[in-house]
């Protein structure tokens, strides 16, 4: 009985460890100065083959969790509009469930324009919340914090 319990315990631990290793999206964060006191903040998602990441905007019939970019308040800067998406968006339609989703594969870049209120150096701090899926499963949503220097 102890051997059966121990074997079951090892299987559970191994499956938890494998689930934690799945990280199909690699994020890189950067800032580019475009003019005096004006920057573009770039959040680049590189997506592993076979996986996809959801757009910030989803159809009304969708049940997927859209990507959300949250910027912490900073009195030294203002956001100019909302983050724009650059990449080849695909519209996935599941005829069996009658739902659709806006998604990206390979890569997508989110770009936010930022204006400094003065010529000081500061950081843009925030988080990106996202969900990734392949053809068989969806991973639980993840939240990733970032801090990007504006120089």
Residues 26-36 pLDDT 10s = 999 999 999 99
Task: Give the number of other Cβ atoms within 10 Å of residue 43's Cβ.
Answer: 22
Q: Hey, CA dihedral for 134, 86, 57, 95, is it positive or negative?
A: negative
Classify burial at 89, counting beta carbons within 10 Å of its beta carbon; exposed 0-12, middle 13-18, buried 19 or more.
middle
Name the CATH architecture for the domain at 24-150. Answer: Sandwich (2.60)
Q: Are 102 and 57 in contact (CB under 8 A)?
A: yes
Residue 61: the pLDDT is 79
Q: What pTM did the predictor assign?
A: 0.83
Q: Which two tokens stand for residue 10?
A: 């090892």
Q: Coil, helix or strand for 15?
A: helix
The span from the CA of 114 to the CA of 82, in Å, is 10
pLDDT-flagged residues of the chain (< 50): 1-19
């Amino acid at each position: 009985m102890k051997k059966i319990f121990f074997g079951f315990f090892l299987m559970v631990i191994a499956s938890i460890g494998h689930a934690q290793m799945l990280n199909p999206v690699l994020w890189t964060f950067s800032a580019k100065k475009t003019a005096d006191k004006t920057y573009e903040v770039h959040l680049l998602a590189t997506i592993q083959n076979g996986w996809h990441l959801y757009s910030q905007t989803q159809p009304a019939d969708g049940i997927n969790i859209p990507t959300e970019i949250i910027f912490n308040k900073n009195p030294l800067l203002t956001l100019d509009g909302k983050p724009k998406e650059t990449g080849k968006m695909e519209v996935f339609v599941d005829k069996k469930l009658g739902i659709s989703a806006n998604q990206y594969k390979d890569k997508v870049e989110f770009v936010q324009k930022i204006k400094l209120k003065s010529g000081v150096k500061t950081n843009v701090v925030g988080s990106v919340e996202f969900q990734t899926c392949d053809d068989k499963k969806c991973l639980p949503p993840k939240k990733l914090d970032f801090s990007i220097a504006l120089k």
